[in-house]
Structure 1
Amino acid sequence: MAPEAPQAALAIQGPTYHQPGRELTDWRFSVPLDHDDPAGERIELYARAVTAAGRDTSTLPWLLYLQGGPGGKAPRPVGKGDWLDRALRDYRVLLLDLRGTGLSTPVTRQTLPLRGDGAAQAAYLTLFRSDSIVRDSEAIRRAFLGEDGQWSLLGQSYGGFVALSYLSFHPEGLREVFMSGGLPGLGVGIDDAWRAAYRRNIRGNEEFYARYPQDVATARRIGAMLRKQSVALPDGGELTLEAFQSLGRVFGGSTGADTLHYLLEEAIVGTGGGEPVLSDTFLSMAAEIVSFKHMPLFPLLVEPSLDQSERTAWSAQRIRAEFPEFDAGAALDDPDAPLPFTGEMAYPWMFETDPALRPLREAAEALHAHEPWSPLYDRERLARNTVPTVAAVYFDDFFVDTEQGLSTVPHVPNLRTWVTSEYVHDGMRVSGGAVLDHLIRMVREGVA
């Protein structure tokens, strides 16, 4: 059953300012923390409206942009020549910080402990999944467009998961939906989702070392150093052997393998006859990758944000045992084995080594013990979908499984896909607007 339609949000318009070719306006919205309790506690949402400067845009439709994550804030517009410029030709764009991110009542190590003990924090976080985000969006739509108004939706990565929830529960608010790298599989169990992710990680490692074979020796040297003793990071974190492996999460971007190579290139420095050490440059850059200080919601909600009813019970950690390829100790004991890197998995040890997560460990444990979870998709409603929906599916997507995503297509009428190997997961960001242009033409012109 679809959730009850939320009331219109209380909207407050902020300042308007300009960038070259763009006019931007800040908006704040007050919505219920729990949309099933509209008279209860309220939270604040932030969004940035962007329109093309120097032209009358008052008749253009609105395009709501939902960022990836979970836990990623909306992009902060800078420069020109990106997807936003393509969008502004046809739309007024609303960049929404999803609840808990950016300026939308952020969830951080400073704010979450104020909710009480770990159980209270976890109960609070259960209201930060895509079903709540959809109802936030609907409340904002009603404030912006009125009861009968419709807007277009662009979901990037996890934003595509939210878009499918939107189509499940409130399709009446949507005129069309675009997804990029975010078509989820329906009915895929959380353990199977991670099994597929580990298989993608195996390919990611093979491709990385095939491109940079010289890094086999470098990564093994660093691994051997960290096997003996972890190293303090500049932000107060701890670089353990497992944390070093997690640098592989950069593989998902179009330049990720190159980024990791250049990071390893400067990693080890001599000390005038003593034991070599890890350079300050390496440790500083590694800290930026392994820490979740910029999106602490991700390791908390990445597993609860998948569609399941049972407890998650640290699925990524459990399923890792099925893949001996990621045993760093075994790799270091084999002189011919490359050290394996992992990807976007959230592990319990992260809440010990990352200072941005340490105060949130009890909340994480309670979340992974929580059940049942409410469904995030309504398959019967999706089977009656009439909203034009198109999705860019990247053939070699590191973060969202291609096969699982494509298995959704037969169950959602009016959903068309563009499967491409020209881009990877960050195609929307790096294509200079080409990905969005293709998706728009798929709806407008029926192109393949």
Structure 2
Amino acid sequence: MGSFRQAGTVVTGHRFLVPLDHDDPDGARIEVFAREVVATANAGRDDLPWLLFLQGGPGYGAPRPSGREGWLNRALSDYRVLLLDQRGTGLSTPVTARRVAALGGPEEQARYLARFRADSIVLDAELIRRELLGDVPWTVLGQSYGGFCTYTYLSFAPEGVREALVTGGTPGLAATAEDVYRRTYPRVAAKNAAFYERYPDDVDLVRDIARRLAEHDERLPNGRRLTVEGFQSLGLMLGMGVGADHLHYLLELAFADGGPELSPAFLEEVGTHLSHTDAPVHIVLHEAIYGQGKSATRWAAQRVRAEFPAFAPDPDGPDPLLFTGEMIYPWMVADDPSLAPLREAADLLAERDDWPVLYDPARLRGNDVPLAAAVYHDDMYVDFGLSMETIASVGKARAWVTNEWEHDGLRVSDGQVLDRLVRMVRGEL
């Protein structure tokens, strides 16, 4: 692809052909897209170091830049940045229900989807690095799931990494999906408590919405019925810096028409939040990011939820009705018209018990790549305790623990989070 200019930057698109299965380099290939961004003043510099950005998710494309803004502005002061659309996302060969369903039966679909985890993403990145930089290593910045990928990178190919920066994305190296969700539900309950403390009138409003959904057939714009469980999943917003406020303003719309029915504006916005047409990987492979060895995930969030009855979708239960968070449930595939064709494949992935390992604890113990990780103390999505255990076990790793920011600190801090991590790996802090 060609280049174009934005305010203070030059942006160039790149397309790369990579093996679908890196164990079969001569087999089927897919395309991976990445966007190179450089400050206008540095566009002619061949000596400028590269920074690879690994997006959170899984299943979402890299940010679409608009000049020098946010964390990218800080990065461009020192780096030529590559915004990677991880395989299956953005402008890379897409993963859509229609495309995957055309591959064959559920078994073929599941085999294909299993190639879109962190292990494959890292091997793609190594092929791309060698094509762009040769033997020169680059800096890797991983946000959320991109941080998980960064630890996989240091496990598989540390020679490709000059320094590693991680924000809200340090995984438990041996944590199963069950381990993760047993820790997640209490954190989400705490976020609910903080939400209702800020907006006490929403206790009754949320209960009224849930009763309406239990007793009437309310449809989202795509024809999907909005259930109590679907409504509860809006709690995903509670882990972001202003997420509680956004959820409150959304709830205000529920009965804005003055009648008993839910307003079209409310249903429209809820439908946007619940749709995963643009990112099916986020649903069908979300629990698989914890799959290693003989550990089948078996819809862990759904099973573990039974251990936390306060999250029951009961419109007549005790107050307050609790929202869930980043939990993936089987109904999310079955109820979404855009994902339903993948339901059997998703079930097969949930039962898989021979996942390749994603992390090499021994190699990470001997790691000599400087690593700086922002660990958000109150992070709703990534467990603080597991993160700290991992950092303590990785060579040359330093943690910056903060409760000043939530999980989206990199995006909303106007470069402050990235600046601190850069200074940490340089030994300036």
Same fold (TM over 0.5): yes
CA–CA distance in 2 between the matches of 1:128 and 1:340? Answer: 32
Written as runs of structure 1 = structure 2, the 5 A alignment for 1:53-92 is 53-55=40-42, 56-92=44-80
Q: 1:324 aligns with which of 303, 309, 314?
A: 309
1:324-372 deviations in whole A, cap 9, x for unaligned?
Answer: 110121x6233xx111100111111112221221111111111111121
Is 1:295 aligned with 2:283? no
The residue correspondences of 1:319-358 to structure 2 (distance < 5 A) are 319-329=304-314, 332-334=316-318, 337-358=319-340
The two structures, once aligned, show a CA RMSD in angstroms of 1.2
- Match of 2:102, SS? helix
Residues in 2 aligned to 1:114 and 1:324: alpha-carbon distance in whole angstroms: 40
Give the alignment of 1:356-435 within 5 angstroms. Answer: 356-435=338-417
Aligned residues: 427
Which of 280, 299, 306 is matched with 1:314 structurally?
299
Where does structure 2 lack aligned partners over 5 or more consecutive residues? Answer: none
* Residues in 1 aligned to 2:245 and 2:35: alpha-carbon distance in whole angstroms: 33
Q: Residue 96 in 1 paired to residue 78 in 2?
A: no
Q: Per-residue deviation at 1:62?
A: 0.5
5+ long unaligned stretches in structure 1: 1-13
- 1:127 — aligned with what? 115
Letter in 2 for 1:360: L
The whole-number CA distance in structure 2 between the counterparts of 1:141 and 1:253 is 32
Q: Do the aligned partners of residues 270 and 127 (structure 1) sit closer, same or farther apart at CA in structure 2, a change above 3 Å counting?
A: closer
Query: Residue 277 of structure 2 contacts residue 338 of structure 2 at CA under 8 Å; is this kept in 1?
Result: yes
The equivalent position to 2:205 in structure 1, one of 215, 218, 236, is 218
Letter in 2 for 1:283: L
In the TM superposition, residue 79 of structure 1 has moved relative to its aligned partner by: 4.9
Question: Is the CA contact 1:230–1:241 (under 8 Å) kept in the aligned structure 2?
Answer: no
Question: Which residue of the partner structure matches residue 263 of structure 2?
Answer: 279
Displacement of 1:80 in angstroms is: 3.7
Q: Distance between the aligned counterparts of 1:26 and 1:196, measured in 2?
A: 40
CA offsets per residue over residues 369-396 of structure 1, 9 Å max, x none? 1121111001111111000001001011
Instruction: Assess, with a 3 A threshold, how the Cα gap between structure 1 residues 79 and 284 changes in structure 2: closer, same or farther.
Output: farther
3-state SS in 2 of match to 1:238: coil
Deviations 1:255-313 (A, max 9, x none): 11001100011111456xxx611001100000111121232111111111114322111
2:96 and 2:239 mapped to 1: Cα distance? 25
User: Contact (CA 8 Å) 1:69, 1:159: kept in 2 or not?
Assistant: yes
**Alpha-carbon separation, structure 2, partners of 1:415 and 1:230:** 52
- Please report how far the alpha carbon of residue 228 of structure 1 lies from its aligned counterpart in structure 2 after TM superposition: 1.0
CA distance in 1, matches of 2:428, 2:301: 40
Output the TM-score relative to the length of structure 1: 0.93
Letter in 1 for 2:52: L
Partner Cα distance (2:74, 2:257) in 1: 49
Identity of aligned residues (%): 52
* Residue 169 (structure 1) aligned with residue 156 (structure 2): yes
Partner of 2:288: 304
